[in-house]
Amino acid sequence: MTKIPFASLSAAIATLATALGFLTVQLREDGYEQYVESVASASVVMYVTAALVVVTWFRASRPHSD
């Protein structure tokens, strides 16, 4: 069984979250306040998802004991 590429998945999700964070700042500067909260929330959810992928990666790498 091959290992799932947790590192690249987590990095890609964190990169997307960073891009959404920059979009949030840009939207605020351009006056689109009605969209700022939803884009910022999506960015936070992406960061949490990336962190959970890392936790899963560490848990999957531990030896299983019965």
Q: What is the pLDDT along the chain (66 residues), one digit of tens a residue?
A: 466 788 899 999 999 999 999 999 999 999 999 999 999 999 999 999 999 999 988 888 777 765
- Contact call for residues 20 and 43 (beta carbons, < 8 A): yes
* DSSP state letter for 62: S
What residue type is 4 in one-letter code? I
- Spans of all domains in the chain: 7-61
C-alpha span between 48 and 5 (Å, rounded)? 18
C-alpha span between 66 and 61 (Å, rounded)? 15
- Please tell me the predicted confidence (pLDDT) of residue 2: 62
CA angle (56, 58, 60) in 5-degree steps: 65
- Please tell me the predicted confidence (pLDDT) of residue 63: 77
